[in-house]
């Protein structure tokens, strides 16, 4: 089996790699300081989001070899958990103020009332817990199955979750989805952030989560846990015969992956401020999560980063209709002609097309992903030189 | 009692079309061991083909099956030659991802060409029905069921009685042994994918008078096709036929007695139970 992970596994990183990593992180931290354009910041946030999703899936799919095509369930758990609690908390807060007015002079009753005050950001934790619980349930059902049957079962469970959220409209507002107008203030490092319009808070939250997922992946890769995961991926019967508990380690990998994915869902929910079952729980989302790692290169730390770097700009060019408009503006295509109409009207609908084309190309021509492909070329060059 | 019979009959009628989708998927799996995640999208292509044959040329959807079958056969054959053939020996995960990618390309190309608007194919008989002893039987569903039965019968005859059919079955049973017996297994794979696509396309044509036509219609049917084939036993044609009818009935009973919002949950729960309790399905032989 051709898995790049095992070949390139190293205990420590070279000093050069560490310096490069720190330099890139420093650049990323400084980025919002000298780039004011909201669109550029938006693209960066999308890149971070894709990277978080890809890294999270990579732990169960890339390192443990269990291709879950139902990760939208965990993403949705994070997104719904966050916004449901946030809405409820804001509601409580309003009620609290009302009651405070009534009981103005009694400090005691105000104190009693504040016991009911639910912090709006606890939803993120609720989402993580929901994803964790869900992953344990899904794991206990699906890990009895192997290969393609596991893939099918993971899809089926995610679909059950989606339909349930769609129909439990008392809690989730069903197909209408949940919309929030304002985000409650957040306290990070002693600073209270209330202004989200600059996108800067999202930028740093996203960057922080990216670093967190990379750290978790690095820890997994360089620990016993990670070796067990990879042993299961390479040959689960052999791993089993060596005394590695398949159920325990597969479930651990899924749980880590699910909790991180739920964070991606929470991040998406507070950034977009609107969620519904089609955007955060659909099969399409599950597939996109898988493809980020596959296109970049599975079972490697930077594979999902590369995948996000390839996918996000390409699909954004299609989505924002930049391609169609620039063709029209440059005078190459007459905007009133059928072709011009077609380009401006339809192209933006089909931004997922790029995912399809890329995955077919990757599977056929570079089964180790873009990162694996680049490494191969570099290795060949090195061989040629020596 | 009327409700029971009514849902039983409409379940069996729609089950016929489901069976056709399932048979297509199971033939492809049987011969190539590839799970085709693009199956519903191939069906979507069949639906659009039927829609345009009707709106542009006025060809009745049930007559247009005669055009759809050969066209979809060629479509599937080309797809096999260009893509599927290259990954027959690779990891099952990669095969799944390739077909997912092909499905995305098909559905998004359809979106590019026809936008995501719902299209409805309205024939003069779209909403008419036969009445029989207090039961109403939808006319388009009844006709499509009869066509399904005819096509399934022809396919059975082809697979059981003709040399090519036997060669396909032999390939499905044991690819290497079949090759040693002088069967051109590569050609059989192309044939099988062509037949599978033709079945999916035909199913699309048959339900187009009673269903919305839109680019993403495929994914729901891909999932249904899996449920049907796993229930019947991967690779078994009799199983897929049976599975299709069972799922059709379960769906319509679920809609009648539980609620139409939750009918898919019932279907997926049965699917999970089958996977856990008897992964080989009703008609499948257990395979490790």
Model-level pTM?
A: 0.87
A339: chain B residues, CB-CB within 8 Å: none
Q: Please, are residues A299 and A59 in contact by the beta-carbon 8 Å criterion?
A: no
Query: How open is the CA angle B20-B22-B23, to the nearest 5 degrees?
Result: 65
Closest CA to A326 of A309, A337, A340, A336: A340
> What is the C-alpha separation between A378 and A364, in angstroms, rounded?
20
Partner residue opposite B116 with nearest CB, options A144, A347, A349: A349
Which pair of structure tokens corresponds to residue A253? 């990998």
Look at residue A5 in the predicted model and tell me its pLDDT. Answer: 45
Q: Please, are residues B214 and B113 in contact by the beta-carbon 8 Å criterion?
A: no
CA distance B231 to chain A (A): 12
Look at residue B288 in the predicted model and tell me its pLDDT. Answer: 35
**CATH number of the domain within which A68 lies:** 1.10.3470
Look at residue A382 in the predicted model and tell me its pLDDT. Answer: 82
CB proximity list for A344: less than 8 A, separation 6 or greater: A321, A324, A325, A328, A335
CA distance B248 to chain A (A): 17
Q: Which of B33, B84, B95, B104 to mutate to test the interface with A (most CBs of A within 10 A)?
A: B104
Number of structural domains (chain A) is: 1
CA distance A37 to chain B (A): 30
B227: chain A residues, CB-CB within 8 Å: 156
Question: pLDDT digits over A18-48, tens only?
Answer: 888 888 988 888 888 888 888 888 999 999 9
DSSP codes of every residue in A374-386? HHHHHHHHHHHH-
> What is the C-alpha separation between B23 and B227, in angstroms, rounded?
12
> Could you tell me if B271 lies within 8 Å of chain A, comparing CB atoms?
yes
What is the span of the domain harbouring residue A125?
4-301
A292: chain B residues, CB-CB within 8 Å: none
Look at residue A102 in the predicted model and tell me its pLDDT. Answer: 63
Look at residue A326 in the predicted model and tell me its pLDDT. Answer: 72
Contact B35 A148 (CB under 8 A): yes
One pLDDT digit (tens) per residue for chain B, 288 residues: 888 888 899 899 999 999 999 999 999 998 888 889 999 999 999 999 999 999 999 899 899 999 999 999 999 999 999 999 888 888 888 888 899 999 999 999 998 888 888 888 888 877 788 887 778 888 888 899 999 999 999 999 999 999 999 999 888 888 889 889 888 888 999 999 999 999 999 999 999 988 899 998 998 899 899 899 988 888 888 899 999 999 999 999 988 888 888 888 888 888 888 888 877 777 766 443
Q: Is the alpha carbon torsion for A200, A202, A205, A207 positive or negative? A: negative
Evaluate whether residue B216 is within a structural domain.
yes
Closest CA to A347 of B103, B105, B109, B112: B112
CB proximity list for B115: less than 8 A, separation 6 or greater: A345, A346, A349
Evaluate whether residue B285 is within a structural domain.
no
The low-confidence residues of chain A, meaning pLDDT below 50, are 1-10, 112, 115
Evaluate whether residue B13 is within a structural domain.
yes
Q: How far are the Cα atoms of A40, A201, B55, B184 from residue A198, in angstroms, in the given order?
A: 12, 8, 50, 64
Contact B101 A347 (CB under 8 A): no
Q: Please, are residues B18 and B251 in contact by the beta-carbon 8 Å criterion?
A: no
Contact A149 B90 (CB under 8 A): no
B100: chain A residues, CB-CB within 8 Å: 69, 287, 359
Instruction: Give bridge partners of residue A192 from the DSSP assignment.
Output: A187
CA nearest to A156 within chain B: B268
B92: chain A residues, CB-CB within 8 Å: 147-148
CA nearest to B266 within chain A: A160
Evaluate whether residue B283 is within a structural domain.
no
Look at residue A2 in the predicted model and tell me its pLDDT. Answer: 44
What is the span of the domain harbouring residue B165?
2-126+136-277
Q: Is the alpha carbon torsion for B147, B245, B22, B13 positive or negative? A: positive
Number of structural domains (chain B) is: 1
Look at residue A198 in the predicted model and tell me its pLDDT. Answer: 76
**CATH number of the domain within which B64 lies:** 1.10.3470
Evaluate whether residue B282 is within a structural domain.
no
Which pair of structure tokens corresponds to residue A213? 């997922």
Instruction: For chain B, give percent helix, strand, coil, nearest 5.
Output: 75, 5, 20
Evaluate whether residue B284 is within a structural domain.
no
Look at residue A63 in the predicted model and tell me its pLDDT. Answer: 92
Evaluate whether residue B245 is within a structural domain.
yes
């Amino acid at each position: 089996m051709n898995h790049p992970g095992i070949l390139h596994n190293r205990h420590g990183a070279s000093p050069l790699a560490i310096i490069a990593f720190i330099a890139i992180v420093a650049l990323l931290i400084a980025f919002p300081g000298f780039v004011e354009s909201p669109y550029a910041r938006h693209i960066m946030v999308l890149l971070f989001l894709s990277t978080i999703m890809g890294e999270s899936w990579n732990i169960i799919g890339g390192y443990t070899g269990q291709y879950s095509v139902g990760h939208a369930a965990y993403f949705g758990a994070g997104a719904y958990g966050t916004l449901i609690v946030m809405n409820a908390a804001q509601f409580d807060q309003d009620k609290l103020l009302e009651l405070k007015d009534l009981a103005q002079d009694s400090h005691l009753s105000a104190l009693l009332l504040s016991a009911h005050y639910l912090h709006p950001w606890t939803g993120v934790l609720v989402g993580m817990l929901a994803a964790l619980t869900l992953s344990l349930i899904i794991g206990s059902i699906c890990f009895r199955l192997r290969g393609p049957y596991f893939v099918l079962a993971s899809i089926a469970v995610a679909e059950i979750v989606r339909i349930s959220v769609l129909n439990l409209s008392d809690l989730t507002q069903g197909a209408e989805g949940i919309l929030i107008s304002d985000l409650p203030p957040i306290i990070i490092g002693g600073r209270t952030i209330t202004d989200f319009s600059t996108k800067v808070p999202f930028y740093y939250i996203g960057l922080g989560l990216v670093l967190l997922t990379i750290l978790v992946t690095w820890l997994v890769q360089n620990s016993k846990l990670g070796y067990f995961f990879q042993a299961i991926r390479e040959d689960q019967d052999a791993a089993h015969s060596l005394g590695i508990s398949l159920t325990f380690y597969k479930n651990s990998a899924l749980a880590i992956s699910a909790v991180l994915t739920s964070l991606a869902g929470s991040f998406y929910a507070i950034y977009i401020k609107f969620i519904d079952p089609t955007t955060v729980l659909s099969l399409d989302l599950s597939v996109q999560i898988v493809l980020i790692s596959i296109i970049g290169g599975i079972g490697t730390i930077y594979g999902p980063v590369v995948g996000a770097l390839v996918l996000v700009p390409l699909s954004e060019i299609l989505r924002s209709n930049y391609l169609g408009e620039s063709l029209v503006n440059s005078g190459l295509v007459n905007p009133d002609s059928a072709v011009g109409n077609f380009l401006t009207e339809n192209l933006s609908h089909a931004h997922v097309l790029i995912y399809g084309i890329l995955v077919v190309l990757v599977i056929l021509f570079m089964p180790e992903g873009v990162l694996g492909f680049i490494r191969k070329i570099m290795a060949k060059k090195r061989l040629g030189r020596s | 009692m009327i409700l029971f019979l009514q849902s039983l009959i409409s379940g069996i009628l729609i089950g016929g079309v489901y069976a056709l989708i399932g048979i297509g998927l199971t033939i492809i799996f049987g011969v190539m061991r590839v799970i085709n995640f693009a199956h519903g999208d191939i069906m979507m292509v069949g639906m659009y083909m039927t829609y345009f044959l009707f709106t542009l040329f006025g060809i009745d959807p049930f007559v247009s099956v005669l055009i759809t079958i050969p066209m979809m056969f060629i479509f599937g054959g080309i797809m096999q030659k260009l893509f599927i053939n290259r990954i027959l020996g690779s990891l099952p995960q990669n095969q799944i991802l390739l077909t997912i990618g092909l499905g995305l390309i098909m559905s998004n190309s359809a979106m590019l060409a026809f936008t995501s608007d719902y299209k409805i194919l309205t024939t003069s008989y779209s909403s008419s029905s036969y009445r029989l002893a207090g039961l109403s039987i939808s006319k388009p569903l009844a006709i499509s069921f009869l066509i399904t039965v005819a096509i399934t019968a022809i396919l059975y005859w082809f697979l059981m009685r003709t040399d090519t059919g036997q060669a396909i079955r032999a390939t499905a049973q044991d690819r290497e042994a079949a090759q040693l017996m002088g069967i051109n297994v590569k050609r059989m794979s192309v044939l099988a994918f062509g037949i599978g696509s033709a079945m999916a396309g035909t199913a699309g044509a048959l339900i187009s008078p009673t269903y919305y036509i839109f680019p993403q219609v495929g994914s729901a049917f891909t999932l249904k096709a899996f449920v049907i084939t796993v229930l019947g036993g991967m690779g078994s044609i009799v199983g897929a036929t049976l599975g299709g009818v069972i799922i059709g009935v379960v769906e319509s009973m679920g809609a009648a007695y539980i609620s139409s919002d939750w009918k898919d949950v019932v279907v997926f729960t049965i699917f999970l139970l089958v996977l856990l309790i008897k992964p080989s399905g009703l008609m499948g032989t257990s395979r490790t």
